[in-house]
Structure 1
Amino acid sequence: MKKLTTVASALIMSLAVSGSALAKETLALAVSTLDNPFFVSLKDGAQKEADKLGYNLVVLDSQNDPAKELANVEDLLVRGAKVLLINPTDSEAVANAVMRANKQGVPVITLDRGAAKGEVVSHIASDNVAGGKLAGDFIAEKLGKEAKVIQLEGIAGTSAARERGEGFAQAVEANGFALLASQPADFDRTKGLNVMENLLASQSAVQAVFAQNDEMALGALRALQAAKKEVLVVGFDGTDDAVRAVEAGKLGATIAQQPEKIGELGVATADRVLKGEPVEVMIPVPLKVVSK
């Protein structure tokens, strides 16, 4: 009888420990969209680090919809997530999701794009302002000052679009570029193609295009090739498709982020938060120009 009691006690203790471990292992990742290779790489980096550290990572795709993003976060919180890692669809709109997590006492870490409101324990991203300036300076290096340029903007309201545009504006001013047009194409390849086609009808004198991400850059490149125009195109993110296009001599350059590193650092930071260790409010990830 004593032996049975001991075995039962051990079983109860084992279940309690495994239940505690399971609760500890639940991390949540809400990604703005998994249709973009950049964010797929970010998710992959987070997953690898979660596997390495022994966490269960629940990933949900917000499909670039702030309403779906909020619903996803509510779902993740119901699932008992201990830390919320979020790549916002929109820096303003994400505030509702962040504050929902705040209310439940769940720490929030933002990835690549920041949140305008709510309490965030750490923001992990590249220096987008510096990256936009790098892109402009590369154009100046290749074409000289006073080049005629077009900018394709990302999704309005995202910190990435705002900051990359700010950095490029610095380069426009410093190098005396003629900014022929600056229009949104929502970080989307097809929209990049369509917007570029429309702009070529009125801005045929363009010499260079800065696209605030590689998807728009590759779309713009396709439009320019179809129009048989030789124009320097610079993207941003360093995705595999863009790097291949650079190596093939089609894309002028891409400002390479390290999306896998952003995801990896997100999970590593969540681990430190759960252990009660101090974390940096802003964790920068280095950028570099990838050109032939």
Structure 2
Amino acid sequence: MKRLKRMFLVLFAATLATSLVACSLKKDSGKSKEKTGTTTTTAVMQGAEKYAVVLKTQSSQFWQDMKSGIEIKAKELGVTVDIQSGNTEDDVEGQVQVLENFISTGKYKAIGVAPISDVNLNNAIAEGCKKGIIFVDVDEKIDTKALSALGGSLYSYVATDNKEVGKTGAQELLKQVGKNEIEVAIIEGKAGALSGEQRRDGAKAAFEKAGAKIVDSQPADWDRTKAMDVATNIISAHPNVKAIYCCNDTMAMGVVEAVKKSGKDIKVCGTDGNDDAIKAVADGILAATVAQNPKEVGARALEEMIAAVKKGITANKEIQQIGIKAVLITKDNAKKFLK
């Protein structure tokens, strides 16, 4: 009798353990997120379609926000997205290696790319196209003629209208300091980066149209310290400069430091709408920033990849350009953008 009772207890315990394991497996098969270094894998469900995105970097708020927008959209649409980047916006070799690794796995139907320059990923993209991978260009416009010569192609291009961004920033500076032959300067991004060049060109056109004199225009590689040094030299060489347009907020914050040290009243406008820049605008330290919407850019790029896969189209003869609207932030509206 005692033996029978013990056997019953053993069988009951085994059944209970099996049930608990099954429940655990069922719960774990749902949504999960795994982060390793510069990689983010958003695993939404078993068997989900797999996509990848190569960003410039993940060390600045702009790219962190874009990554967040992609992840949110992936969760919403039930797909898996692997996101990686180079270590910095100068890490050309690292970014190429990331893309080559993505392509070599054979796991991805479509890949979004935000190249450091307009040509640095072209060879890898061309190789991926030969394997039937769809590519969507994000933020930095790729030289499509150079890509085509290599046998590569794109499905679409998603970005902010950067010329309009530069124009908007310059016009706001002119509004704040006046248009009567004032001296102005431009702090550019990285030489050869098309997005920065387009912002510079947009600002330059607006300044020239208004009759402002551009006393200097120099790249500072998207870097705060470099921008501070460049601005310090500009202010020293041109003591009558009244306004400086910067092609991103990181550089704008460096320029603000240079202006403060000079003791002069010089208006500075940045670009991107970073949190610290918006606070600086609200506090009256920065004249304005032209806020991009990197979350929306990233989300829309993922939607484009998914649409292309569903349609079975690897490339378009005429690449569709999808512009995401930017917003001018001044002291009048900055508080509503503060987090």
With normalisation by structure 1, the TM-score equals: 0.88
Q: Give the secondary structure class of the aligned counterpart of 1:120.
A: coil
Q: Does 1:27 align with 2:51?
A: yes
Q: Is the contact made by 2:52 and 2:112 (CA closer than 8 Å) also made in structure 1?
A: yes
Q: Is the contact made by 2:160 and 2:326 (CA closer than 8 Å) also made in structure 1?
A: yes
Matches for 1:143-292 after TM superposition, within 5 Å: 143-145=177-179, 146-276=181-311, 281-292=320-331
Which structure has the larger Rg?
Answer: 2
Give the Å deviation of 1:277: 7.4
Give the Å deviation of 1:165: 1.4
Q: Give the secondary structure class of the aligned counterpart of 1:245.
A: helix
Q: Give the secondary structure class of the aligned counterpart of 1:180.
A: strand
Structure 2 match to 1:66 = 92
Aligned equivalents of 1:104, 1:114: Cα separation in 2: 22
Q: Give the secondary structure class of the aligned counterpart of 2:302.
A: helix
Q: Is the contact made by 2:162 and 2:199 (CA closer than 8 Å) also made in structure 1?
A: yes
Q: Is the contact made by 1:155 and 1:186 (CA closer than 8 Å) also made in structure 2?
A: yes
Alignment-mate amino acid for residue 120 of structure 1: L
Q: Is the contact made by 1:92 and 1:157 (CA closer than 8 Å) also made in structure 2?
A: no
Give the Å deviation of 1:50: 1.0
Q: Give the secondary structure class of the aligned counterpart of 1:289.
A: strand
Aligned equivalents of 1:98, 1:186: Cα separation in 2: 25
Alignment-mate amino acid for residue 92 of structure 2: P
Q: Give the secondary structure class of the aligned counterpart of 2:63.
A: helix
Q: Is the contact made by 1:257 and 1:286 (CA closer than 8 Å) also made in structure 2?
A: yes
Q: Which runs of 5+ in 1 are unaligned?
A: 1-20
Q: Give the secondary structure class of the aligned counterpart of 1:183.
A: strand
Aligned equivalents of 1:94, 1:169: Cα separation in 2: 29
Aligned equivalents of 2:84, 2:210: Cα separation in 1: 42
**Partner of residue 155 from structure 2, selected from 109, 121, 126:** 121
Aligned equivalents of 1:87, 1:101: Cα separation in 2: 15
Task: Output the aligned Cα RMSD.
Answer: 1.7
Matches for 1:25-104 after TM superposition, within 5 Å: 25-62=49-86, 63-64=88-89, 65-79=91-105, 80-104=107-131
Give the Å deviation of 1:103: 2.1
Give the Å deviation of 1:204: 2.0
Q: Does 1:141 align with 2:175?
A: yes
Q: Give the secondary structure class of the aligned counterpart of 2:241.
A: coil
Aligned equivalents of 1:84, 1:151: Cα separation in 2: 34
Aligned equivalents of 1:55, 1:30: Cα separation in 2: 17
Q: Which runs of 5+ in 2 are unaligned?
A: 1-44, 148-152, 332-339
Q: Percent identity?
A: 28
Q: Is the contact made by 2:184 and 2:216 (CA closer than 8 Å) also made in structure 1?
A: yes
Runs of 4+ in 1 over 4 A off after TM superposition: 21-24, 277-280
Q: Encode CA deviations 1:22-49: one digit per residue, 9 max, x unaligned.
A: 6752211111111221111111101111
Give the Å deviation of 1:160: 0.5
Alignment-mate amino acid for residue 61 of structure 2: P
Q: Is the contact made by 1:24 and 1:82 (CA closer than 8 Å) also made in structure 2?
A: no
Give the Å deviation of 1:120: 1.2
Q: For the structure 1 residues 23 and 91, does the alpha-carbon distance in structure 2 shift closer, same or farther, using more than 3 Å as the test?
A: farther
Q: Is the contact made by 1:84 and 1:101 (CA closer than 8 Å) also made in structure 2?
A: no
